[in-house]
Amino acid sequence: MSLHQQLADLTAKLRSLVPAERLVTIDRAAEELAQSGIAAKALQPGVQAPSFELPDGDGMIWRSSDLLKSGPLVVVFYRGRWCAYCNAQLMALQQVHVEIATRGASLVAISPQTQKHSYMTRDMHKLRFPVLSDAGNEAARKFGLVYRVAPDLQSLYESIMTKLPGYNGDQSWELPMPATYVIRPDGTIAYAHVDADWRMRPEPEEVLDRVIG
């Protein structure tokens, strides 16, 4: 099953389970974010990607400059392990990460979660690629991806025990828009998929097709 179909099925399931008043809040937040134009301001193909240096759940430091020495780099920004859409994407990427490596490329996933939650994300889904913690969304901010969760959506998340300060270790209520980048060894961005609607993600095969050594 394609990732697109998995996400569509997930949305349909949530719509059947979530009360209508909560769905209104979620849909409104997604629409407002889309209309803000923030996605168009994120880094696009042809520009130089900012470097980053981030820890994984075990405390090991991963540097983009080191990864690019061996080939292209696929960078996936996701919201957190509490996000069902993010988990579906990460599991789909797990299915192609060997093919990505075969093409001489590396893959990393980045979220603002604490190292503890990055470790739990990797362990829960048995991911075989680095899952990195971007404290304060510093790397995501360089890519132009960061936004603050709307107050009404904050309240909704808190009511269902999705308390971002606990996951992210700060009180900012900031998240990155889900984004997937392919960066060439020279540091330029070859491919970018950024969507203000967190329910949309690129197919792994689409990303794989853009990985050229």
76 close to 44: Cβ distance less than 8 angstroms: no
pLDDT value of residue 185: 96
What phi and psi, each to the nearest 5 degrees, are found at residue 185? -55, -25
77 close to 100: Cβ distance less than 8 angstroms: no
* pTM of this structure: 0.96
Q: pLDDT by residue for the chain (213 residues), tens digit each?
A: 899 999 999 999 989 998 989 999 999 999 999 999 999 999 999 999 999 999 999 999 999 999 999 999 999 999 999 999 999 999 999 999 999 999 999 999 999 999 999 999 999 999 999 999 999 999 999 999 999 999 999 999 999 989 999 999 999 999 999 999 999 999 999 999 999 999 999 999 999 999 975
- Which tens digits make up the pLDDT trace of 184-213? 999 999 999 999 999 999 999 999 999 975
* Residue ranges covered by each domain of the chain: 3-209
CB atoms under 10 Å from CB of 212, counted, come to 13
Letter string b/e over residues 78-116, b meaning 16 or more CB atoms within 10 A of that residue's CB: bbbbbbebbbbbbbbbbebbeebbeeebbbbbbbbbbbe
User: Does CATH place domain 3-209 in 3.40.50.2000?
Assistant: no
Helix (H, G, I), strand (E, B) or coil at 181: strand
Listed residue (211, 200, 213) closest to 70, CA to CA:
213
Would you give the end-to-end CA distance of the chain in angstroms? Answer: 28
CA 29 centroid distance within chain: 18
Alpha-carbon span 100 to 88, nearest angstrom? 18
What is the helix (H) or strand (E) element at residue 191, kind and residue range?
Answer: strand 189-194
